[in-house]
């Protein structure tokens, strides 16, 4: 067999092996190997307004999502709802909001699966939509902006917490969180 024939046979064998590997990847769970698993970015946790906060960016089937976890640090306090109107109720309360800039752009509205309830703070005569006790996870669907060198995003959070008997805590408005994204 001449050199040319051996090269052609070797190339055919290589192509066959690559085809078999490509077929096997979905079966082994490695089909997404090109897209790394785990968070695309994680910010340092912080505490402000009596609420502990953590923010991260994770992949999802149709892009990325920003996840912001908010947890009141004192028992009996509740994070205001996304459904609270922009001006509050009779000027009381601050709606929970999340937005992204820089290397990330929102592709839809923020959501949460936290259960909403009505809070009636003593002496105020208002009914405020808040979330049940515990951690509230906000999810904001986003896409990465395709510009060379843009691996930094900023997420802005607005929130507050209130209690029926102990009043409301100072609200946090447009708290910036910087995220360094993994290279695309």
pLDDT score, position 8: 45
Euclidean distance between the first and the last CA atom of the chain, given in angstroms as a whole number: 46
* Alpha carbon distances (Å) from 12 to 5, 19, 22: 11, 11, 15
Each residue of 85-144: pLDDT tens digit? 998 898 889 999 999 999 999 999 999 999 999 998 888 888 999 999 899 999 999 999
Residue 119, φ and ψ in degrees, nearest 5: -110, 135
pTM of the model: 0.76
Residue 107 Rama label (left phi>0; alpha psi -120 to 50; beta): alpha
100 vs 68: CA distance, rounded Å: 11
Average pLDDT, the chain: 81
Q: Is the dihedral of CA 184, 64, 28, 20 positive or negative?
A: negative
Average pLDDT over residues 37-65: 90
């Amino acid at each position: 067999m001449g050199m040319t024939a051996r090269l052609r046979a070797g190339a055919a064998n290589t192509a066959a092996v690559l085809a078999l590997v490509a077929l096997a990847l979905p079966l082994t769970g490695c089909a997404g190997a090109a897209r790394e698993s785990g968070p695309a970015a994680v910010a340092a946790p912080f505490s402000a307004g009596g609420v502990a906060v953590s923010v991260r960016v994770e992949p999802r089937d149709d892009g990325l999502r920003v996840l912001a976890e908010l947890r009141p640090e004192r028992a009996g306090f509740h994070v205001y709802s996304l459904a609270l109107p922009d001006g509050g109720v009779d000027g009381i309360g601050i709606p929970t909001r999340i937005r992204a800039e820089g290397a990330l752009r929102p592709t839809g509205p923020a959501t949460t699966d936290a259960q909403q309830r009505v809070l009636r703070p003593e002496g105020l005569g208002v009914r405020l939509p808040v979330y049940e006790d515990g951690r509230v996870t906000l999810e904001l669907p986003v896409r990465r902006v395709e510009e060379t060198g843009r691996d930094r995003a900023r997420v802005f959070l607005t929130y507050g917490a209130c209690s029926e008997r102990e009043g409301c805590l100072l609200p946090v408005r447009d708290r910036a969180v910087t995220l360094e994204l993994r290279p695309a």
